[in-house]
Structure 1
Amino acid sequence: MGSRWTFNWVMFLGFLSSCVYGVGVNWGALATHKLPQKTVVQMLKDNGITRMKLFDADENTLSALAGSNIEVMVAIPNYRLKEMNNYNSAKEWVGSNIARYNFMGGVTIKYVAVGNEPFFGPFNGTYKNVTFPALRNIQNALNEAGVGDSIKVTVPLNADVYSTPQNNPVPSAGRFRRDIRGIMTQIVRFLNKSNAPLTINIYPFLSLYGSVTFPKKYAFFDGGFSITDNGIKYTNAFDANFDTLVSSLKAVGFGDLPIIVGETGWPTDGDKNANIGDAYRYYKGLLPRLAGN
């Protein structure tokens, strides 16, 4: 997404089969002015943040989160996915980054993100054949370590893993991308068997950024543009994007798979539509919508 953009990240943890699970934030390590990890954790607690998604399993960050009761999603970076295709390496990673924090007063780890948007188009298939074996090995290693019932794997995906035909661009026509459809079917079948969720990152801003014809009003939640699909009226791209994923899951036989929205947000710098006013408008619509289930 480019280092020139300043994003306010939000994480929404929710499930298809139930009401909203909770709202949290993403904590990335790339910053020019880093705060001490303990300061960040206290700031989160002071603001009532109870859920956190990380992009790695940094020891200092996890140590700062110990005893905080903040539910955490730790992550394995893409460059380590091939390494995790070796089961012994997967067991070693689980021992070093999960089991060591699994004690009373430790870190409340709920999920392990295996990669980050590994099928994103610009990666040109680099992680296509190593993501599912890594996912399977990590969950099996969690099971072997005795924490598999409470800690589940997931894969945070970019929304480009699914699409709709140009002649029928509605959510019900959503299908996984042809080049990864087989792999995605394997992944969701395994997640379903493991009672684990799929994670998706949804950014209406990126639709606006990527197309001069995309209606700006559709990126927000306050109306002004809509589409109708089989009698369902969609007034914003977030809902339509989410349901496109649901349709894609249904098409491969797993329409009831739990879904986490891992990232959504609006940038405040770096593009003509990246500003504080539009970011405020996006969150003003998003957060009450999540709170209202």
Structure 2
Amino acid sequence: MARAKVLLWACCMLFLATANADSSNFAKGIGVNWGSQVSQNLLPSVVVQLLKDNGIGKVKLFDSDDWTVKAFAGSGIEVMLGIPNNELKRLSDSYDDAQDWVKENVTAHTRDGGVDIKYVAVGNEPFLTSYNGTNTHTLLPAMKNIQKALDEAGHGDKIKVTTPQNADVYDSGTGGPSQGNFRKDIRNIMIDMVRWLDSINSAFLVNIYPFLSLYQNSGFPVDFAFFDGGAKPVKDKDHSYDNMFDANLDTLVWSLKKAGVPDLKIIVGEAGWPTDGNINANNKLARRFYNGFLKKLATDKGTPLRPGHMEVYLFSLLDENMKSIAPGAFERHWGIFRYDGKPKFPVDFSGKG
């Protein structure tokens, strides 16, 4: 998970209850990110059981490691594979390489009803301003090559390509969500990409973090990062916003509308709150955030412009003690669970408490 400047209008996440709870009571549409930048990885079989015990039906990976992926065979857990940014140029230049990637990382795992792969996430926040345009011309060709290879291998109806984007790819300036549009330096590329995603019936994957807006903006209204009604509502046209998540996601909705794809599906690819490494990264605020968001998800209320059910991947399943702390010490403490799989604190995952 890379870091960059985050909009003043931004947010999102949730949290698990205790293990072995009744999964029928859990909020719908919840997945989790599982990163591997740790000194001692839990066995994939242990992680699969951890997810099943906690009613998590979806997992998003940052690569396609064979040992990890094959552990999900027959688990009933839906998998999103990842392709790192350093693979984009190779896969954009060579369709043969894209075919080989699909054969080795998709076909090999889906035979005989094996792993339930739903998406392939090509790149990870490839258009961050800090990358200085490195991936500007390779992302979409790589996405198209992988999707073409999926189609030709007979997977295309079920498995779609997408790409996780940081919320900095769109902006609303000093206005509200209705002023939202894709960043000027990548606007034409983003328009081409979202129109193509719409044409293949895929989804826009966005990472939204209220904690980072609070971390980067000393004047950010703290209550606006949460969902318990403590924030002063902000009016935008005919809608009112009392939390950052709704405002940020609707900024994206407006951006998609202006790009000509108002109905493109949106998935929140990462959302979370760290528990250490900063004055605002603590269990008290994390619990406040998770509890409020879970209640929101359980209602299927959605946002003013996108009412209804939302699909969200939590960031992250486990703390990662080998991550770079250049963005901040909190980078190693995004986990719902500690490094060893122990929960940090209980939260009512059903959203009913």
Q: What TM-score, normalized by structure 2, do the two folds share? A: 0.76
Q: Alpha-carbon deviation of 1:10?
A: 5.5
Code of the aligned partner of 1:181: R
* Residue in structure 2 matched with residue 77 of structure 1 by the alignment: 84
Say whether 1:190 aligns with 2:196. yes
Taking a change above 3 Å as real, the CA distance of residues 10 and 51 of structure 1, as seen in their structure-2 partners, is farther
* Residue in structure 2 matched with residue 174 of structure 1 by the alignment: 180
* Residue in structure 2 matched with residue 17 of structure 1 by the alignment: none
2:13–2:293 CA contact under 8 A, matched in 1: no
Say whether 1:121 aligns with 2:129. yes
CA-to-partner distance for each residue in 1:49-105, whole Å, 9 max, x for gaps?
A: 111100100111011111111000001000001011111111110010001111234
2 CA distance for matches of 1:247 and 1:177? 13
Q: Alpha-carbon deviation of 1:224?
A: 2.4
Code of the aligned partner of 1:195: N
**Higher strand residue share:** 1
Q: Give unmatched runs, 5+ long, in structure 2.
A: 4-11, 16-26, 301-353
1:229 to 236, 259, 283: 236
Code of the aligned partner of 2:51: L
Q: Alpha-carbon deviation of 1:143?
A: 0.4
Q: Alpha-carbon deviation of 1:158?
A: 0.1
Say whether 1:93 aligns with 2:101. yes
Say whether 1:159 aligns with 2:149. no
1:219–1:236 CA contact under 8 A, matched in 2: yes
1:159–1:200 CA contact under 8 A, matched in 2: yes
* Residue in structure 1 matched with residue 308 of structure 2 by the alignment: none
Say how many residue pairs are matched.
Answer: 279
1:149 aligned counterpart, secondary structure: coil
* Residue in structure 2 matched with residue 284 of structure 1 by the alignment: 291
Q: What TM-score, normalized by structure 1, do the two folds share? A: 0.92
2:111 aligned counterpart, secondary structure: coil
Higher relative contact order (CA 8 A, sep 6+): 2
Q: Alpha-carbon deviation of 1:235?
A: 0.5
Say whether 1:254 aligns with 2:248. no
> Which stretch shifts more, 283-292 or 73-82?
283-292
Q: Give unmatched runs, 5+ long, in structure 1.
A: 12-19
Q: Alpha-carbon deviation of 1:48?
A: 1.2
* Residue in structure 1 matched with residue 249 of structure 2 by the alignment: 242
2 CA distance for matches of 1:89 and 1:112? 15
Say whether 1:144 aligns with 2:144. no
1:90 aligned counterpart, secondary structure: helix
Q: Alpha-carbon deviation of 1:194?
A: 0.4
* Residue in structure 1 matched with residue 74 of structure 2 by the alignment: 67
